[in-house]
Every structure is written in C-alpha cells, then in structure tokens.
Structure 1
Amino acid sequence: MKKLHKASSITLCLTLFATLLAACGSTNEDGSSTSKVEGVKKEGFPIVDETLTLKVMSQDAGVADWSTMPVLQEMEKLSGIKLEYQLSPIDSFETKKNLVFASGDLPDMFYAADLKPAEQVTYGSQGILIPLEKYIDEGYAPNIKKILDENPDVRKSFTTPDGHMYALPFIDTAAVWYRGPMWYNGEFLKALNVDEPKTTEELYTYLKRVKEEDPNGNGQQDEIPLTSVKLDDLRMFFFGFWGMYNEGIYSDKDGKVHYPYQEEGYKGYLTFMNRLWKEDLLDHETFSQTGDQKKAKGESNKLALFNDYHPYFTLGGEPSTEHPLMTPVKSEVADSPVYGKHPGMSARGTFAITSSNPSPEATMRWIDYIYSYEGATLFNQGPEGVLWQFKDKENHVKEWLPVPGGGDREEYRGKITPNFGILTPGINDPEVAKGLRTEFDEWIDQQNQEKLVPIGKAPFPNVYLTNEEQSEATALLSDLDTYVKQMEAKFVTGQEPLENWDKYIAQLKKMGSDRIIELYQGAYDRWNTGQ
C-alpha cells in the first residue's frame, strides 16, 4: 500500500488614527475602493501588462522561504503580480494581525487570514476591509461567482449584516470531519474478539476489558483504554453520543439553538466520563499531557481508543485499514447518536482585501485563480513535473513522481507551496487528486459514509451578530468558556460531585448562558431567512 500524504474572544483595539486612516482611503459609496491601476484584464493572463507589486500578510508554517517557492514564482509569472511578504508564525499571527489593524499600517491583502466573523463586521464597517461582492459580480472573479451561485449558503454565510462580503472562505463541500475523529486500535479489538461497541454501556464494557485482559499481550497491565489531551481531542465526537452536535453553539433539526453545556445530554456525558475516570479507564494524564506524550503511548501499543487525523499518526507505522474509525455509540438520550459534520466551508475568512490596496480588481483576479481547477492544482500539488505529472490530461488523471532527493512527499510539498499547515483560501476540488488517491484514502471515505454521514449535520451556519450583539456575546462567552472548562475538569475527576448539577446550571444562567442562546437564535433566524 502506498504511504498516505499526511495531511474566542478578541480585543478590538483600534486607535483613532487607524479609523481616520481608513476613512481617508479612496472608497465609493458602496464601500468598494477605486483602483489606481489601469488595464486590469477580466480574462486571460497576465492579469496586468505592467508588473503590479502587492503586499500580502499571512500565517507561515515556517517550512520554507515563500519567495523561493515554485508555486508562488509560477503565479507571479502567470499573473504579472509580484508579492511582498509580511509573514508571521502561526502561534503569533493573531497578535500580529491585531497590531496591524490597530496601527493602520495595512497590507494590501490578507492570505490565510483567520478572520473571525467579529473581525469581518468590525473592520468592514470601519472601511479597513473592503466589500468583495462588487468585484465578484462585475466579472473579476468568475470562478468564485460560479461557486457562490451553485452554493448559495456560502454567499449567505459570508455576507455580514450590512449586506457585504468582506472575506472569502475555504470551500470543501465534500468534507465530513471538523477535526480528526476517534479511532480504535484494531489489534486490541481482535485480541479480545469483540465487534465495535454500539452503545455507551458496550463501550464501557470494552474499555474495562482492555484494562483487565492484556490485549497487547506483553504480560503487563499497561494498556490505556481511553486517552485525550485536556478532553479537547474527544469532546466534540463524544458529545454526539448524547445528542449534541457541537462543543459550541449548535442548532437542532428543528432550528432551535442550543448551548451544550446546560443540556441534559452534557450531564450524561459528564456522568459517563466520571465513571471512566473513577475506574481508571480514562487516562489520568489527560489534563496534563501533551500531544507528543499521547503519541508516545500510541507508538508503545498501549492505547485502545484515541483521537487523531489518521490512526497511524498516533500508533506509528504505515497507513493501515486494520484500525477502524469509531462508530458513534447510542446513549440513554433519545435520537442519539448524532455527528457534527463539517459545513463545507471554513468558519472564518481566509482572504480579504484592505483599503490600502491599489487594485482590488487585479487582486480579485489573482485570488480567483486559486478557486479554479488549474489554480487549486497548482497551489495544492505544486507545478506539473515536480511531484506529479499528467497520466491523462484531458480527464485530469495524474500520477506521482519520485520525490526529488527522496524523503517524505508531504514534507517536500511544504517547501514548494504556501498551502501547507495553515487554512488557506481556495476550494477542495476532487479533480485535483484524481489518480493520486491511495487505497487507504478510499477506505477512509468508505468509513465516513458508513459511520458518520448518515447521522451527520452541520452544527451551525456561519452567522453574523451585529456590532452591539457581538460585543455582548464576546464578553459573556469569555467568562462562560473559562467557567465551563474549569467545571468540566472538576466534574470528570470528581472534585465537584454531579449532585451539584443544579447549582452549576444556576451559575451558568446567572453568567448569561440563556442570553447567548437568545443572541444566536436571532442571528440564526436572520441567516435562515436571508436577512
């Protein structure tokens, strides 16, 4: 088998200077900018006849110098647009982005922007980010327009309350996972001669057998039935066992908005996790270990059930179909299990144009190419002849080439394209990977279709609150999130007895949990009616 190619709150501190600077830009009544560059072509390449230099700010995975990446060099030749890079490491990008917005020293565009709905509303309404729909609808982005016309929920989900689109998402209508799911160690299932559990009680029984019956066969009781990193790994997947679609706000099938941490299903989840903790079936290093420490346990063949993007990322070795994706299990809650399916687009904006940009038209042409089959191929797989070549160009069938100099293909890909390790604009077009998929890839698809898709629903659309609503929600959620995380750990470990559930619920309501539901129900209803 071939090796698989591996795949809040914010403080909006805008100075008066930044606000005035945005207001002084050359903008039209609809908020769009007036281009200072002539001769921008709506079709064909280059986009401009004379070289246009634009400043781009982005996150950077830190694998290679962007100025030497073949993908960006090819894009410059194709478009006639030269980029000057303002890059920031992933872990400091949020801080750098906020400083840039506050100072008014803006790039011409943001790439891999991670723009929260609140940022889009705030900076768009202040004229710092410009509306994009004008350029999309006037013919400067035919690929994006086609996608929006075919997927009206995408346009609706990225249109703010003032009627403008200030950012573009990453679009993947075939996506199933929000994050990596749970996996069973197939060797343990086989050693104990059991099928996958179908209920929470069967799951408990299986985990208890793992603890007591030495499925790794080393003569020691060193197996760890279930592990996680601060419960963040497993929370969303496990919530579905008790009828909750998300670890954040979600809507049910009837359009009613829920805050999961005051649901009866959440009490069921806590009760189950506390039971596992008391019997040492949940790793007692869950709240202190790192991802690397969890992985070391997997590579030592100690883990029975765990989260990761693929099982061999934790267990080590090569891709294998021997370690099944966990089938969500049924609890005492009616209509369980459910699964919070990926909505088909990123929740945050990945691309935006600022009021400093000298040619929004040319910039829209540039980004639009990435939403085409040709552009998606270039930015995802690199130029033809480096890692791949066409086997049947007319039908988009490709085949892999040997990795230059040997080594891991995915690591090499990180040296040739910026679309590595960060969420970037574009579209996941199945045609891009035609001929490049492995038997393992096909098995993953089959597991998803059998186990997750039938019970899956996108938890919540990408809705926008008004500025006033967002300020209120941000303040409330800041305190609620902190309290909920603290109490989850206490309930699970038994520091806080579940007999105090009513007291906990009363505190949530006192802190504004019902108001959060009210705010997001209103935003959801507006989204649902297209208002």
Structure 2
Amino acid sequence: MKLKRTLIILLCLVFTISVFTACGSRQSSSGGTKGSSTSKGNQSDRITEIKLPIVKEPLTLTYWTGMDPKMAATMKDYGEMKCYQELEKRTGIHIKFLHPPMGQERDQFNLMMASNDLPDIIYYSWWSIPGGPGKALSDGSIIKLNDLIDKYAPNFKKLLEENPDIKKQAELDDGTIFCFPFIRSAGALINANWGPQLRKDWLDKLGLQLPKTIEDWHNVLVTFRDRDPNGNGKKDEIPFTGRGSNGQGILDLGNFAPAWGILNGFYMDNGKINYGPIQSAYKNFLKTMAQWYKEKLIDQDIATNDNKAFDYKITNNLAGSYFGLVAGNMGRYLNLMKPKEPNFDLVGAPWPIGPAGKSYTTTNLNLKVMNVGAAISSKNKHIKETVEWLDYAYSPEGHMLLNFGIEGQSYNMENGYPKYTDIIFKNPNGLSYDQALAQWAPSISSAPMDQDKRYYEQILQLPEQKEAAFKTWLDADPSLTLPLITPTEEESQRLASIMNQVNTYQQEMMGKFIMGKEPINDSTWNKYVNTIKGMGIDEAIKIENAALQRYNNRP
C-alpha cells in the first residue's frame, strides 16, 4: 500500500514538471531572446495594432526580389530607397535586399527553390511557377499565413475583411493565404494602363480620325504607309510595330484578337474557359493579320524586334502605331520627344471593334490582387516580426510611406491630397519622374502594398495619358479575361506539361501563318487544330474550367 502511494506521488510530480516545461517552451517560442517566433501561440498573442518599433534589438531580414529597371537606373539595391530607410527607422528592422540579375529572375528563382537556400522573404509571381503556390507550400519552401495574419497582421486582416473581392482573389481554393500581395484596390482606375497607341500628329497631318474598328485601322495603316507622314520624302514608314524577345514579337499582334471575340490564349467564353487559337474566329483573325503583313502595314521585322529596336523605330519617326503602356511607353516617348520635336504627339485609341461587335480589352480591369506577392520562407527564424513588418505596409502610415515617400520631402498634403513635390517632377538632378519617384517609394513598380490611385493620377501628367487611361481604355469590355484562378499542384504540373508544347507550336504557326510562310486554308488549318488537340488542349481546357469552378465557389 505504501509502495502504491509512493508511485502515485511520483507520477503527479512528473506530470507537474511536464506541464511547466511545456509552458516554458511555449513562452520561449513566442518571445525568445532574439525575437524569433513560430506560427503558434496563445490567443493573448494577437495584436490589434503594429506598435513601433517592432523590435527592441536590431534585426536583419533577407528579402529576395527582382529589380525594376527604373530602380536600377539610380540604385544598386532597394535598400537605397528612402521609404525603406525610413521604414527601418520606424520598425527597427533592417532589410537586406537580394536582387537576381535583370533578365535572369526566373532562372535564379528556380535555382534558389531547388537548392532550398532560401532568404526570409521572397517576392515573386507565385501563380506562374510550375505547380503553382500550392507546390511551394507542400514542398515546405514557404509557409501558410492564415493564423499569422489573424494574430500579427491587423491591417492586412482588416483590408481582407472589408473587401471580400480582394480576399477571394488573395486566397487559394481551400482558403489558404500564402503571401502578402501587391494590391490595386482601386481596380480598373489603375488597371486600364495598356492599349493601342498611334501618332496623333500623323493622324492630324493626314486628316484621319482615330480608328475605332478593324476596317478603320486598315485604312489608317494604309494611309500611314502611302502618304509620307514623317515628311522625309521616303516610303520608310512602319504603320504598325511591336516587340518581344526570342522571336515572340509576333505575339504582339494577338492584341488585335479581341476584335474577333477571343484572346490569343485562354479566354472566357459564356462563363466557361476556352482556348482562342483553335476557334474559327481565330482563323479569320490570322487571315486579316496575314493580309496586313503582306501589304506591309505591319513591321516586317516584328518577329525579331526587341525593346531597343522597338524604341528606335518610335523615337526616330518610323513607326505610326503600337500597343503599349500609358506611362512606360506613351509618357516616356512624349517626354523624350517633345523637347526636340514639338509636333510629336501620341493618342490612345479604343480597343478595336471587329466581327465580335464590341471593344474588348486584353486587360482584366476587375483584378485587384496582382499575381505577385511576398511569401515568408520556411527558413525564416523571425516569423512574427516579419509578419508585422509586412503588415505595416497596409497600415495608414505605411500606405502613405510606400506610395508617396516621406511627407515634406517627396510629397506634401494639400487639402487632404498627397501631392508629389518638385523633387519628383522637376528633379534637380535631371531624373525623369519615374526614376525620381523610384528613389523614394516602390509605388512606381510593385511591392507588397496597396497601390494608391492618387499616385496614378499624378504620374499621368499629360492630357494624352489621362484621356487614354481614364476614359478611352476604361470603357473597354474586360469580359474575355480570366480571373486569378489557381489550379492544384497536380493540375498545374499537368497544365504546364501540355501548354509548354502547345505554346511553342502555336507561336511558331502563328508566325508562319501571318508572315505567309504557311497558307491559311482548310487543310493547313485543320492540321494545325488537330495537332494542338493531339497535344492535349482539351485536357488543359478541362483543368482550367475545374479551377474556375473552384474559384467561383469561394465565399
């Protein structure tokens, strides 16, 4: 009996010690000596605001991201940006930016993921990787953020709760949130930043109206070709030009495909996803492009143009039209050319209307979560602090910092409106506005933040830009474009296997058809379609629609 009582006492002692040990372990993991944390913790860990500084002792986090050329023009890494320097002062967290060589982002990303040599934060286009973000999660490269956001990201959590459409786009089908995304909550007011552009001075000189239909476009391009709008007495005008890399310039012509009610890839077709390049409407689109190419209305070197050649043809009065960005192309060319050629002018044209009877755009104007975001790697030893640092960008103060820079320096508040100062638009060092703004904030490019439409309203300084973005292109119909759907890991891998073959063949044949190397008749068309079907396009369409159905079923 005495032995039994002794055993009971010993068991109670063991249990008591184990409880205290477990409690101590939890306390250590949520508030260790170096500020490290895990995703677990008590409900009392939850915070309602980001208190600054985030850390009491200096902390360095590594952050991998591609470098925008606008930034690269004036700095070696994003750590030189004024907003990140200010962010370090406020939070106590130093960010060591790691940039892959420009043009090698994809290769460097794949190498990094394969080697498992991961930084703390990775900013990338996760929806585009083989296997999708689900594979990066299942591989253990990055971590799920839902619980962490609930506890340590009050600003991002509030944004999601107040904007169900953003929450739907930021989640995977099972509700998983895996990154802090680049957001445009203003949606179409910022997304309508791309479309057809023409030399307005050429139109005016030749007495031409802005083209609205495919027929109008044909007439304008013929007149550009024949009536010497650049005035040099030579027949050297290129009515329409485009650009790409590695022979992909021909794909630029795919921007005309919406006039036939399709896209040059997957598109929405009466609530379902279909594949444009095998539809009969696409055959008619190709015939029109082939005729234009034969008539020399299209740049004969469009398949091989790179950005340098593209810029040269526009800035040397050779090209009359193209598809481009409202800031990176229209704004840049106008600011570059006006001082030396005052008559140089550009105008945004409506997305052309063709047999489909509507002005369709290739841009998803309704998209609010862009396909890039900052994920936290599994190698991160300071998860709680990282989440708080990333969340600060979505706070009112962080929002202003990352969009506009530092008040009193890069912007001033005027009647409640953050107006950029002369250091941005009249830079004393002669920097262009985008290069100047790049020194202060990542709003000119992208980052895990909510891009403010007031930034966009100001960088579009020219009336030509405002007319194109806020009226002409905003009126286009985006219903052909896909939402940000997410195939499963298995689906994504199978889809990539199919589409790698399909895209290579489809691009090759598109070039051959348009440039007259292959006739467009029933025989060649049927062979082309059957080849793509033999590569598994029907299975790919099925995968896309399964992902669409899951997306539509999200709450």
Give the TM-score normalised by structure 1.
Answer: 0.84
Task: Check the 8 A contact 1:69/1:415 in 2, yes or no.
Answer: yes
- Find 1:453's aligned residue among 466, 474, 481: 474
The answer to whether the aligner puts 1:54 opposite 2:61 as a matched pair is yes
Matches within 5 A, 1:216-235: 216-229=230-243, 230-231=248-249, 234-235=252-253
CA offset digits 1:135-191 (Å, max 9, x no partner):
2223x2233223222332332223224431112321113345476322111111112
The answer to whether the aligner puts 1:350 opposite 2:369 as a matched pair is no
- Find 1:133's aligned residue among 137, 146, 154: 146
Residues 225 and 177 of structure 1: CA distance in aligned 2, closer, same or farther (over 3 Å): farther
SS at match of 1:202: helix
SS at match of 1:257: strand
Once the two structures are aligned, what percentage of the paired residues are identical? Answer: 27
Which amino acid is 1:296 matched to? Y
Range moving further from structure 2, 96-105 or 268-277: 96-105
- Higher helix content, 1 or 2: 2
Give the equivalent residue in structure 1 for 2:136: 123
CA offset digits 1:242-262 (Å, max 9, x no partner):
112x4332213x311111111
The answer to whether the aligner puts 1:427 opposite 2:450 as a matched pair is yes
Matches within 5 A, 1:284-323: 284-309=300-325, 310-311=329-330, 313-314=332-333, 316-318=336-338, 322-323=345-346
Alpha-carbon separation, structure 2, partners of 1:432 and 1:493: 42
Give the equivalent residue in structure 1 for 2:501: 479
Which amino acid is 2:387 matched to? M
Structure 2 stretches lacking a partner, 5+ long: 1-28, 31-37
Residues 416 and 93 of structure 1: CA distance in aligned 2, closer, same or farther (over 3 Å): same
Alpha-carbon separation, structure 2, partners of 1:203 and 1:395: 40
**Deviation (angstroms), 1:270:** 0.7
Residues 197 and 87 of structure 1: CA distance in aligned 2, closer, same or farther (over 3 Å): closer
Alpha-carbon separation, structure 1, partners of 2:532 and 2:510: 13
Give the equivalent residue in structure 2 for 1:65: 76
Residues 146 and 90 of structure 1: CA distance in aligned 2, closer, same or farther (over 3 Å): farther
Range moving further from structure 2, 183-192 or 117-126: 117-126
Q: CA RMSD in A?
A: 3.0
Task: Check the 8 A contact 1:112/1:424 in 2, yes or no.
Answer: no
Which amino acid is 1:65 matched to? K
Residues 101 and 234 of structure 1: CA distance in aligned 2, closer, same or farther (over 3 Å): closer
SS at match of 1:111: strand
Give the equivalent residue in structure 2 for 1:158: 170
**Deviation (angstroms), 1:443:** 4.8
Matches within 5 A, 1:6-405: 33-34=39-40, 42-61=49-68, 62=72, 63-66=74-77, 67-112=79-124, 116=128, 118-138=131-151, 140-172=152-184, 173-175=186-188, 177=191, 180-229=194-243, 230-231=248-249, 234-244=252-262, 246-252=263-269, 254-309=270-325, 310-311=329-330, 313-314=332-333, 316-318=336-338, 322-332=345-355, 334-342=356-364, 343-392=366-415, 394-401=416-423, 402-405=426-429
SS at match of 1:348: strand
SS at match of 1:505: helix
**Deviation (angstroms), 1:395:** 4.6
Alpha-carbon separation, structure 2, partners of 1:438 and 1:451: 14
**Deviation (angstroms), 1:378:** 2.0
For the pair shown, the structure with the greater C-alpha radius of gyration is: 2
**Deviation (angstroms), 1:455:** 3.0
Alpha-carbon separation, structure 2, partners of 1:186 and 1:454: 20
SS at match of 1:498: coil
Task: Check the 8 A contact 1:166/1:352 in 2, yes or no.
Answer: yes
Kindly tell me the number of residue pairs found equivalent between the two proteins: 493
Alpha-carbon separation, structure 1, partners of 2:217 and 2:456: 37
CA offset digits 1:88-117 (Å, max 9, x no partner):
223222222222222222211113565536
Task: Check the 8 A contact 1:56/1:108 in 2, yes or no.
Answer: yes
Task: Check the 8 A contact 2:413/2:419 in 1, yes or no.
Answer: yes
CA offset digits 1:183-217 (Å, max 9, x no partner):
11111111221212232122212211221122222
**Deviation (angstroms), 1:232:** 5.5
Structure 1 stretches lacking a partner, 5+ long: 1-25
